[in-house]
């Protein structure tokens, strides 16, 4: 064969081999072309520990979100790889801090933690290192004064409590005289966030109910008989609990055993009335109430709500059913917002991006038609929660059924606590 033909023959095969290597995904050739850069996200979740009956579903959803989106985002025609660092904190604050330091070392530009103690502990670390924290909890210590480096993604716990009790009094309770309300609060940073003078003032002065002496119970408590017995003796008409699914199940079972239900209404904050709660409480769940802040009703798994359909499709793909556990929403929702914030940050600043730039984007994020609840007011102006309304649900024939329209956090309550929406002292 002539020398020139040999080189042409070898060159032709070389081009074929290069093309083939790209088609089969040979990393040294395909990877560099596929991604314009990599973005790290830290995720401090509770796969195990005291909160796990609720948070296990959140942790699964957090991982599923980025699997569903192929661990990438596309902005301006360029695709960026998402490095999602999903780690168990075992309901241990020291592990949350350790996890944050790991995320920092791996270059994370935003960190998610799914519990109030984690938020309070990581907030100063986020401010020091200029990395925004997304938290799945609530307390005044966390959100006041508003920080560019700490964000929530649901209404306030005390506002939801006030809205739920208001709805119950107006739509459910039929008794004579003043309705008697007992608050059963977890004795933790999470549960005591509703132990505010403004909550009691609103319930007594504006809503006109009698508030019984508040009962507290320990994080690891397994028996609520003493607290419920006091409420029974005092003639409670409604008991509102702030905790998680496992603790609400304990209350429902103990109240049934004491003969309190269905005469006494039981209601709990979001996270509680869930598929896991039904499993744990069994027939004691029947008739109980709870509030939720997203489009969780099965009827909303429809083309009218495309973002909900994406979530349900991921739930079905990775968990085997479109109705795995409603707490799945709590793992999906923050990453939906984080994805939006990362896209906005790249659009504004280009790439690479820093945690400080992501925080600036979040702190000025306007209202957004985000598709997962009726409203999302954003974070501009100091509001760090995003929006302020819930809906009431009840367990009927073993199913969680929507029983109310949207219930805003009562204006009279928010006037007493203007910091919840970013104002006041």
Residue 425 lies in a domain: no
Could you say which DSSP state residue 385 is in? S
Q: Is the pLDDT of residue 21 over 50?
A: no
Summarize the confidence of residues 6-18 as an average pLDDT. Answer: 43
CA angle 64, 70, 73 (to 5 degrees): 110
Task: Please name the helix (run of DSSP H) or strand (run of DSSP E) that holds residue 186, with its range, or none.
Answer: strand 180-186
Which residues are CB-contacts of 316 (< 8 A; sequence separation ≥ 6)?
322
Residue 101 CA to its chain's centroid (Å): 22
- At 248, which CATH number? 3.40.50.2300
Ramachandran region of residue 71, left (φ > 0), alpha (ψ -120 to 50) or beta? left
Inside any domain, residue 181: yes
Q: What is the DSSP letter of 286?
A: T
Residue 5 clears pLDDT 80, i.e. is over it: no
Per-residue pLDDT reduced to its tens digit, 29-54: 434 448 999 999 999 999 998 888 88
Instruction: Tell me if 409 is assigned to some domain.
Output: yes
Sort strands 389-396 and 399-402 into parallel, antiparallel or unpaired.
antiparallel
Residue 242 lies in a domain: yes
Q: Are 330 and 315 in contact (CB under 8 A)?
A: no
57 three-state secondary structure: helix
Please give the share of the chain, as a percent, with pLDDT higher than 90.
Answer: 84
192, 305: one domain = no
CA 300 to chain centre: 19
Q: What is the mean pLDDT of residues 271-288?
A: 96
**DSSP per-residue codes, 156-169:** -HHHHHHHHHHHHH
Q: What is the dihedral of CA 391, 242, 325, 365, to 10 degrees?
A: 60
Question: Which of residues 53 and 395 earns the better pLDDT score?
Answer: 395
pLDDT at 254 over 90: yes
Write out the two tokens for 332.
């999906």
Q: Residue range 198-213: average pLDDT?
A: 98
Mean pLDDT of the chain: 91
Does one domain contain both 165 and 221?
yes
**pLDDT, tens digit (0-9, with 9 covering 90-100), for 209-219:** 999 999 999 98
Q: What is the mean pLDDT of residues 386-391?
A: 96
User: Domain containing 8: what range?
Assistant: 1-34
What are the two backbone dihedrals, phi and then psi, of residue 332, each rounded to the nearest 5 degrees?
A: -80, -45
CA distances from 339 to 63, 75, 120, 196, 251 (A): 13, 11, 23, 34, 37
Res 425: pLDDT: 62
Q: Is 407 exposed, middle or buried (0-12, 13-18, 19+ CB in 10 A)?
A: buried
pLDDT value at residue 192: 87
For the stretch 368-385, pLDDT in tens is 999 999 999 999 989 999
Which is more confidently placed, 9 or 343? 343
Q: Per-residue confidence at 221, pLDDT binned at 50, 70, 90?
A: confident
Same domain? 6 vs 51: no
Where residue 220 falls among pLDDT bands split at 50, 70, 90?
A: confident
Q: Please answer whether residues 126 and 149 qualify as being in contact, where contact means their C-beta atoms are separated by less than 8 angstroms.
A: yes
Residue 402 three-state SS: strand
The whole-number average pLDDT for the span 347-368 is 97
**In the block, residue with structure tokens 């830290």:** 42
275 & 320 share domain: no
What mean pLDDT comes out for the span 220-240?
96
Angle at 344 between CA 341 and CA 345, to 5 degrees: 85
138 and 209 share one domain: no
- 362 in Cβ contact with 379 (< 8 Å): yes
Looking at the structure, tell me whether residues 395 and 258 fall in a common domain: yes
């Amino acid at each position: 064969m002539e020398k020139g033909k040999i080189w042409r023959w070898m060159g032709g095969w070389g081009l074929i081999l290069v093309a083939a290597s790209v088609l089969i995904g040979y990393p040294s050739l395909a990877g560099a072309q596929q991604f314009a850069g990599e973005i790290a996200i830290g995720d401090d979740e509770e796969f195990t520990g005291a909160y796990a009956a609720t948070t296990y579903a959140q942790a699964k959803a957090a991982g599923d979100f980025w699997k569903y989106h192929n661990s990438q985002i596309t902005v301006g025609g360029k695709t960026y790889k998402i490095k999602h660092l999903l780690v168990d904190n075992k309901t241990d604050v020291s592990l949350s801090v350790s996890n944050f330091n790991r995320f920092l070392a791996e270059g994370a530009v935003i960190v998610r933690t799914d519990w109030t103690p984690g938020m309070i502990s990581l907030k100063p670390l986020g401010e020091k290192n200029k990395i925004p924290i997304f938290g799945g909890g609530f307390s005044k210590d966390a959100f006041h004064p508003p920080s560019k480096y700490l964000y929530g993604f649901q209404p306030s716990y005390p506002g939801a409590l006030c809205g739920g009790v208001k709805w119950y009094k107006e739509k459910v309770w039929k008794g004579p005289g003043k309705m008697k309300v007992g608050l059963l609060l977890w004795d933790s940073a999470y549960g005591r966030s509703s132990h505010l003078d403004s909550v009691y003032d609103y319930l007594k002065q504006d809503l006109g109910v009698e508030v019984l002496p508040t009962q507290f119970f320990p994080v690891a408590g397994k028996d609520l008989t003493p607290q419920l017995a006091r409420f029974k003796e005092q003639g409670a008409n409604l008991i509102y609990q702030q905790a998680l699914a496992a603790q609400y199940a304990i209350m429902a079972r103990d109240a049934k055993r004491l003969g309190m239900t269905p005469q006494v209404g039981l209601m709990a904050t979001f996270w509680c009335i869930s598929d896991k709660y039904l499993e744990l409480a069994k027939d004691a769940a029947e008739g109980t109430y709870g509030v939720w802040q997203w489009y969780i009703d099965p009827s909303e798994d429809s083309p009218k709500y495309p973002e909900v359909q994406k979530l349900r499709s991921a739930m079905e793909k990775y968990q085997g059913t479109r109705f795995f556990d409603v707490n799945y929403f709590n793992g999906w929702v923050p990453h939906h917002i984080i994805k939006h914030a990362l896209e906005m940050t790249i659009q504004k600043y280009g790439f690479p991006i820093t945690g400080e730039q992501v925080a600036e984007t979040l702190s000025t994020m306007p209202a957004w038609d985000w598709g997962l609840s009726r409203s999302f007011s954003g974070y501009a102006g100091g509001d760090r929660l995003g929006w302020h309304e819930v809906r009431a649900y009840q367990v009927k024939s073993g199913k969680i059924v929507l029983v109310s329209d949207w219930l805003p956090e009562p204006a009279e309550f928010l006037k007493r606590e203007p910091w919840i929406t970013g104002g006041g002292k």
